Every structure is written in structure tokens, then in C-alpha cells.
Amino acid sequence: LILEEDKALLTDYFFHIMKQLRLCRFSENDRKTRGGKRDNIKVGFGGLQCVHCSENQNSRKFFWSNVDRLANSFAEIPSHVLKCRRCPVQTKQALQDLKERHSEQMTHLPRGSQKVFFRRMWRRLHGDEESKVSLKCEEVDSQEVTSSEAKESIEGGEIVKKDENNNESNTSLDDNIILGMSTASAAKALADYAAGMKPLTRILLAIDEDKKWLSDMDCFVRSNLEVFCATQYDIEFAESDRKYPITQSQIGIRCVHCALSSQGARGTAVFFPPFISGIYESVREFQRIHLESCPCLPKHFKEKLSTLKGSSSLSSVLRRYYVEAAQALGIHDTDEGMRAGCEPKPVGWKEGDEKDLSESIRHIETSNQEFLSLPSVENLTKKRKHGD
């Protein structure tokens, strides 16, 4: 449920409170509870359970219908752990010691970091249900395409296939499958694209790390956008659409569904952010004025979009993540707009960041074993006093 990488998102107190829980699955025996709030929960639904009283017939279990309810009622968890009759006194005292530092540590965590953790935990509990109705993705490495397979290139919004004899034929866009890549493969493909090598498939703005940091809505929106390098064709389109001037190989983002259509992506479906810090605003604009009304958006995508209304990450989290996600794809700023081909940088808030305090997360050093395994609270307190 909780990993070492989650330390950067939580205070010592919350991190170790989570260590007192384990995954459980809803059963018919869990349905009878005060208030009758579990009538609609399906058997097998994931929840949390106190590790200390888990063997009791009436052990404390927590089930939420969505991640927002989990976040809003999280206080129920530490309240139970600190009162649980089965929880060792030493553990309670150790947690109380950490609780004293909780408020101070919270001031060093960027707004939204705790919600990021709740989303991670929610997905660990329930899996990636979005993949059932999202893009039909498969892992692709451009180096694995053999000479006997048809080669694809993108020309003016159309998919053009070339066989072994270099003969071209337009594919049926309805049958085309939008392919996804790993972040590393996408960065390499984008660098090759910038160097003049047409990609074998679409390069999505969405990357593997999105699921660790963003809400389902933000992940979904990003998965509907592709990253591309401007060609002369795009430059002429931009001029006719009266957009700001762009240059050859400048990085842009566009609706992947419109790009796959015979008309190509035009107008509100295309954006050329001048800097990587502007990608966030461009995606927000795409979501606001184009995505829902996109004439090329498949029906099941529209249905998925309607279920995600109101689910979004905090802007403080989004702005920073969008910059780091772009850098993970090797995108960088130049005097002529964004370009690809820079050395990719990993995504993540980690120890050693030298950024402004309001934009960074202090890495948490305490481990569960360190404080829960000590013979007494006095020893724990002494160690903390000498270590501070």
C-alpha cells in the first residue's frame, strides 16, 4: 500500500500511520455495519484494514467509493489506530511522538502532495480501471520493427504505410490503433523525429509516470494529445489559421483523434506552447474548448470523459509535473520555441532538489522499522532529540 518513494509526499506521522494498515477485500460479512452505508459495495471491492485488530471478528475496515471520499475522511484512520485496543502501547506512543512534528512538517510539503499519495494508494487498491475504456495501447519499441513489416510515417495528418518495395498506401483511419510507448522509447522517438526521422507511430503527451502524479481526468486528457515536430505542412496550416509564427521542427501538441482524420488537426486542436512551462495552459485550453466537442472523438471516449467530470489535480501539482514530464521526453526551451533531443530527465520530487521551498518536497528520513522496533519510547525520543 505504501512504498519508500511515497515518503516524499507525506509527513513522518502519516507515512507510519499508513504502515499500520493492509489491503482487504469486501465480503458479505462486512456488509452489516452501523448506518447501513455498505449496501451498494460489491464483494471483492478493495479497502483498508487495521493490521493490529485484523484477526478480530469485528476488525476495523475502511471502504470508500472514490479517492475524494478517501481524502476527505482520512482522519478516521489515525483516530482508530491510536485508540485500537490491539495496537501495542509502544507503537501508539511512537506515533504520538511523530504527531507532534506533523504540523511543522506539513508546512514543508507543497500543496497537493498528500492528494497525490491518495491517488497512488487508490490505484494500488483498485488497479487501473481506466485502461478498460481508454486508448488501445500496446508497448512499442521502434527498433523492434522488422524489414518485413509495413513502415508507417505521418504526413499531413494521415497515416502512410510503406511496404518492402517502398509503395505507399493510406490506411483506414477507423482501423488504425493508437499505439503507446514507454517514456524512454517516446523520448528516443521524439529525438529521432527532430532529427528528420519520421516516427513509426504517434508519440503521446501522456507518459508512464502520469499515473503516479495525476488524477484520472488529467491522465485521460493527456492521453488524447500527441507531441509532434512542425513540418512545412504544419507551418502553412498555422499561417492559414492565423496562429503565431512557428518554425521547422518546433514542438507542438495536437488532438490525436483529429490528427488521425482525413482533415488533420486544425484550429483549436493544435497548440504550440512557446515554453515547456506553457504546456500546462495549452492542455487546459485544449480540454476547455476542444476535447468535449471534438468531432473525431470516439463515442467510448466521450462516455469516459463524462464519468471524470470534477476530478482534477491541483494546479500547483500540475504545473510542476507538466514541466518535468516534458523534460522526461527530452523537450527543452530555445529562442525558437520548444525543441526535442535534449537528454531526458527523470520525473519525481526527491531528496536533493535545490528548488524553491514552495515548489519542492522535503524527503522524509524516518523509517517504520526505526521507530516501531525500539525497546521503549524513551529511546526513540532520545534518538530524535540527538538527531534533530
pLDDT value, residue 310? 61
Where residue 140 falls among pLDDT bands split at 50, 70, 90? very low
Lookup: cell for 387: 538527531
Secondary structure class of 339 (helix, strand, coil): strand
Report the run of H or E that residue 252 belongs to, with start and end: strand 251-255
pLDDT value, residue 115? 86
pLDDT value, residue 170? 37
Where residue 174 falls among pLDDT bands split at 50, 70, 90? very low
Report the run of H or E that residue 271 belongs to, with start and end: strand 270-271
Q: Please, what is the angle between helix 89-99 and helix 377-387, to 10°?
A: 30
Q: Please, what is the angle between helix 76-83 and helix 89-99, to 10°?
A: 140
- Considering the entire predicted model, what is its pTM? 0.66
Q: Which of 172, 151, 170, 154 is nearest to 162 (CA)?
A: 151
Lookup: cell for 319: 504545473
Where residue 57 falls among pLDDT bands split at 50, 70, 90? confident
Q: Looking at residues 89-97, what average pLDDT do you find?
A: 95
- Does residue 153 come out as left (phi exceeding 0), alpha (psi in the -120 to 50 range) or beta? beta
Q: Which residue has the higher pLDDT, 180 or 76?
A: 76
Dihedral, CA atoms, 365, 368, 372, 374, nearest 10 degrees?
Answer: -50
pLDDT digits (tens, 9 = 90+) for 178-232: 445 789 999 999 999 999 888 888 999 999 999 888 888 899 999 999 999 999 9
pLDDT digits (tens, 9 = 90+) for 361-379: 332 233 333 333 434 334 4
Q: Please, what is the angle between helix 279-289 and helix 315-328, to 10°?
A: 110
